[in-house]
Structure 1
Amino acid sequence: MSQKSTSQKKPRRAKGEGSIYQRSSDGLWVAAIDVGYVAGKRQRAVGYGATQEEAIEERDRIRDQKKAGLDLTKKPKTVADWLDEWLLIKAEEERSPSTLDRYRSVVDVHLRPGLGSVRLDKLTAKRIRQFLAGYKGKRSPATILKIHAVLRAALSGAMAEDLLTRNVAKSVTPGGGSRDERRALTPDEAKTFLRAIKGDRLESVFLLAIATGLRRSELLGLRWSDVDLDGEALWVRQKLIRSSQGLTIGSPKTHRSKRPIPLQRVGLLALRRQKARLAEERLAAGEAWKPEYDLVFPNTLGKPMEPRNVNRRFEKYRAAAGLDWLDLHDLRHAFATFLLDAGEELRTVMDLLGHSTIRLTADLYGHVLAPRAREAAKGIDQALGNLA
């Protein structure tokens, strides 16, 4: 009886399992999976890795895409290809011109040059981390956060179109670090600034910014029909925006940005002064005045005011007040920090600022809450007494 060979045959791969092999030409490991036939020709999706383990991971990724129903026989899109499509989709969704301009700016200046040549389905969290890390020290943390946010939104859109099975940007923490902790304007510094602007045509703009926390765009888009002086309240219902079409009136930033704001003595004073000033300017302008805009803070002819003129005037008076570090947006932050220091709840401040989430408010004002939290923690000692 002949002796049977003791050697074992290599087990047959299951259908669709794919193959892993090392290329003799350069030692690179290759993962390949059959993905169907196009025009009678067998098609394979191929991935590569420096090691066998990396190739196995690549094979599994391709297999997951196939199971998810992605058409792997199509010519692969690059990140740039998808970003162009995504911008068209956003335009069809009737996004505001300013939002579209912001998306295009981030895509054209940052994403397309940095990641555009990468295949969309090959984009990894590691590649995104390296890309964002390259901006550290060169761009502000806020800019890095914005770049990451636009990329994350674009990749979510790719998932909605069944081009990706997961959004790798969501697992990346932007390399720019957290938001800068803003230096908070103190009440005494606020009074110094307000004394510096006293009597200026734009005095009420800056006074109302501190008194209500409105954004510049919301202040310049505010109408008298949205102000109730007797009821001591105003409503944010529109804003002034700049786009490729020039200065236009548009909807607020988010649905939560449409909000009522109660008015106290300081805010009411600012608005009453402004109403008296506009009555004089309207009389001086005569027929050139444009009453149809109904703006609280227009230019001298009743039309929308150039936002850059507000910034220029602000920069003049902050220097006069010795507050060179102060930014116009810091007046909005002063409103929030004054309320939090007075003991208001974070949720209340979130609603008044029109933030989309309480997390955003907490991220911005955590430095204000920390001392209060420490004081609150002393209540444990008071409750439990001296146990030492």
Structure 2
Amino acid sequence: MARDPFRLGEWGRISTTTSGGVSVARVRIRDQDGKRRLVEARGKTAAEARRKLQEKIVNREPPHPSQRAELSKTSTMSELFTYWIAQKTKTVSPQTITGYRQAWNAYCAAAVGEIFIREMTAGKVDSLINSIGERTMSGARMSRIVMSGMLGIAVRFDLLSHNPVRDTPRPTPKKSAVRALTSDELDELRARVQNYSRHQTVDEHGVVRPKLGQRPGADLEDILMLLIATGARIGELLALKWDQVDLDSPIPTVTFSATLVVPRAAGERLFRQNFRKGDAPPLTVVLPPFAVRALRRRRAMPTFQNPENALFVTGTGNWVSPANVRRSWRAARGDDFDWVTPHTLRKTVATLVKETYGVEAAQIQLGHANTRVTEAHYIQRVTLAPDMSDALNKFAPKA
């Protein structure tokens, strides 16, 4: 059998004829399914017919086994997003889908939504991501993820020859140094949280006085205690149930196996996700004695509505929202501790464990898959070198 002279996507010699006073240009093209098909275009002159035929070939949508009929090179980016997000819904969590939708609607739709897929270039993507980055770096990172996924679909369907997002740099926010609390800072923060939770103030003479008005919940004091005792994420801590806490064994432990997901869009509600961030496996950590005493006290407290058997529960029997905890946290800490968030306590735990037991122990305590993330984002860098003066004194000039 003779070998077909055309490769997939190639075409032969263009021929021109006249029909009814109109020039007709024709050519046979070998499509992706291996079949050769006739393509033609008409014009007033042979040159015009040939030019129109060449344009038709470039913009033509050939039959393809994997081609989705609803998308073509002249589909808009909004249409591509609709198809892409429907596919992603099958494989990623609802909160991730919400993040993708928010990024598209807030930053991308108005800028590129009506542009044809074939018109997307690296320059357009780069301009879009840079403009978003001037407003919000997190929005720029998420938008780049969305655009890369969408245009990856276009490449798979042969609507683009390559993904233009790959030719653009990743948004890189300015990295700030990891800062952990010192012992004195932790003591001061604990005192402020205690005063806030107990609804009292301390005047300039150190006299404690009760505050007027409604007393806030006392949960914040125990939340701070457990954060510094475990190094847990706030969402995983607030998702704890009492059956995940073992206070009666010779080695008391707590197991983190779920997290609370905060609503990010209208109509969503706070819910408990039955796995940790990133689908990480459950993590069991040993509780220090001060945490065991506090949890035993808390376990003995009466609760009236707690259908989920949660450690922290609202007066109506619901999960305590991380957003509400952060709001109380900001009110309790004071302006001079505005750099301290619940996540700062996770960094403080990692730094202390690393200094005492090494970086591998810090990685295990935080539940990271490897030490790279722990070292890069959670451990405060040592800036005081050890005393090496005896060794360096060997370089002293001879008398």
Give the TM-score band, short-chain normalised: 0.5 to 0.7
Cα distance in 2 for residues equivalent to 1:240 and 1:81: 33
Q: For residues 138 and 369 of structure 2, what CA distance do their matches in structure 1 show?
A: 17
TM-score by length of 1: 0.68
Equivalent in the alignment of 1:111:
108
1:309 to 321, 324, 334: 324
Whole-Å separation in 1 of the counterparts to 2:339 and 2:309: 34
Q: 5 Å matches for 1:105-254?
A: 105-139=102-136, 141-156=137-152, 166-198=162-194, 200=197, 201-202=218-219, 203-229=221-247, 230=249, 231-243=251-263, 244-250=267-273, 251-254=275-278
Q: How does 1:34-49 map to 2 (within 5 A)?
A: 41-42=39-40
C-alpha separation in 1, matches of 2:322 and 2:132: 29
Alpha-carbon distance in structure 2 between the residues aligned to 1:305 and 1:193: 21
Q: Which residue of 1 aligns with 2:366?
A: 353
Q: Give the C-alpha shift of residue 107 in structure 1.
A: 1.6
- 371 and 146 in structure 1: CA distance in 2 versus 1, 3 angstrom threshold: farther
Which secondary structure does the structure 2 equivalent of 1:316 belong to? helix
User: What code does the residue aligned with 1:234 have?
Assistant: V
Partner of 1:255: 279
Q: Deviations over 1:67-97 (max 9, x none)?
A: x98869963133322221122122233x333
Contact 1:70–1:162 (Cα < 8 Å) also in 2: no
Report the number of matched residues.
326
- Indicate if the aligned counterparts of 1:254 and 1:356 stay in contact, CA closer than 8 A: no
Q: Which residue of 2 aligns with 1:81?
A: 79
Extract unaligned runs of 5+ from structure 2: 1-5, 14-27, 42-54, 198-217
Does 2:277 match 1:280? Answer: no
Question: Which range moved further: 104-113 or 121-130?
Answer: 121-130
Could you say what secondary structure the match of 2:262 adopts?
A: strand
Distance of aligned partners of 1:273 and 1:264 in 2 relative to their CA distance in 1, 3 Å threshold: closer
Contact 2:29/2:39 (8 A) holds in 1: no
Please list the CA deviations of residues 347-376 of structure 1 after superposition, one character each: whole Å capped at 9, or x if unmatched: 54344334466554444247x34749x779
- Aligned-residue CA RMSD in angstroms? 4.4
- Which stretch of the first structure deviates more once superposed, 308-317 or 150-159? 150-159
The question of whether the paired residues in 1 share the 8 Å contact of 2:108 and 2:143 is answered with: yes
Distance 1:166 1:242 in 2: 37
Task: Provide closer, same or farther for how the CA distance between residues 337 and 382 of structure 1 changes in structure 2, counting only shifts above 3 A.
Answer: same
Give the Å deviation of 1:304. Answer: 0.8
Name the structure 1 match of 2:334: 319
Name the % identity: 21
Asked if 1:364 is matched to 2:377, the reply is yes
Relative to the length of structure 2, the TM-score reads 0.66
Query: C-alpha separation between the residues in 1 aligned to 2:315 and 2:145?
Result: 39
Map Cα deviations across residues 108-140 of structure 1 (whole Å, 9 max, x no partner): 11222233334335433333222222134422x
- Measure, in 2, the Cα distance between the counterparts of 1:119 and 1:387: 72
CA distance in 2, matches of 1:370, 1:18: 69
1:12-31 → structure 2 map (5 Å cutoff): 16=10
CA shift in 2, pair 1:332/1:365, >3 Å: closer
Cα pair distance change 1:168/1:349, threshold 3 Å = farther
Shift of 1:274: 3.9
**Greater length-normalized contact order (CA 8 Å, ≥ 6 residues apart):** 1
CA deviation digits over 1:20-60, x for unaligned, max 9? xxxxxxxxxxxxx96759996449xxxxxxxxxxxxxxx9x
1:116–1:208 Cα change, 3 Å: same
CA distance in 2, matches of 1:148, 1:213: 31
Aligned 8 A contact 1:132 1:176 in 2: no
Unaligned runs of 5+ in 1: 1-12, 20-32, 44-58
Q: Can you list the C-alpha shifts for 1:319-355, whole angstroms capped at 9, x where unaligned?
A: 17x312323332222222333344622x543443344
